[in-house]
């Protein structure tokens, strides 16, 4: 029993300690002209869905709820942001070549159809990022029309 209490105390100290290690904040003041939503003139519902469900990891601007400031959640998210942005950064959309845009649009549709995105480790705590069937079909319809151009 005594060693159990000591372990708990050690865990608590570690937990408090790691809160002081800083993480990089993925935040910039303004939305760039190259942004996916702006370039493609997305209607409001599409804009909201992307911003709520994708932009935290796939843009230069993450909105952090309080629990995303708590370690180790903040590290996990930081990691996802780095990987996510490397694959697809909606803030830099218009800097992509036409070929890259096309392939990313296809990839967005397939990730959404297969329920791969948003990541489930994210939607566990970020419930409002879950996509309803209606949101999925709205996005897929809208993107399919973009791809026609």
Interaction site with ligand HEC (CB under 6 A): 53-54, 56-58, 80, 83-84, 87-88, 104, 107-108, 111-112, 117-119, 122, 129
Comparison of 31 and 73: residue with beta carbon closer to ligand HEC: 73
Distance (Å, rounded) from C-alpha 77 to C-alpha 124?
A: 13
Beta carbons of 71 and 116 less than 8 angstroms apart = no
Q: Side-chain half-sphere of 46: how many Cα atoms within 13 Å?
A: 15
Q: Tell me how far CA of residue 8 lies from CA of 1, 67, 84, 88, in angstroms.
A: 11, 22, 35, 41
Comparison of 42 and 88: residue with beta carbon closer to ligand HEC: 88
Instruction: State in angstroms the smallest separation of the CB of 13 from ligand HEC.
Output: 29
Instruction: State in angstroms the smallest separation of the CB of 136 from ligand HEC.
Output: 9
Comparison of 23 and 107: residue with beta carbon closer to ligand HEC: 107
């Amino acid at each position: 029993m005594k060693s159990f209490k000591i372990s708990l105390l050690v865990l608590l100290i570690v937990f408090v300690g790691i809160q002081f290690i800083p993480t990089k904040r993925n935040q910039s003041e303004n939305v760039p002209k190259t942004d996916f939503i702006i370039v493609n003139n997305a209607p409001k519902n599409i804009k909201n869905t992307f911003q709520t469900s994708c932009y935290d990891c796939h843009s230069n601007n993450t909105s952090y709820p309080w629990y995303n400031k708590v370690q180790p959640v903040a590290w996990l998210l930081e990691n996802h942001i780095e990987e996510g942005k490397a694959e697809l950064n909606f803030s830099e959309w218009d800097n992509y070549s036409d070929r890259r845009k096309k392939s990313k649009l296809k990839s967005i549709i397939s990730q959404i159809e297969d329920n791969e995105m948003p990541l489930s480790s994210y939607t566990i705590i970020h419930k409002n990022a879950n996509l309803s069937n209606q949101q999925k079909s709205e996005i897929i319809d809208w993107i399919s029309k973009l791809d026609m151009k």
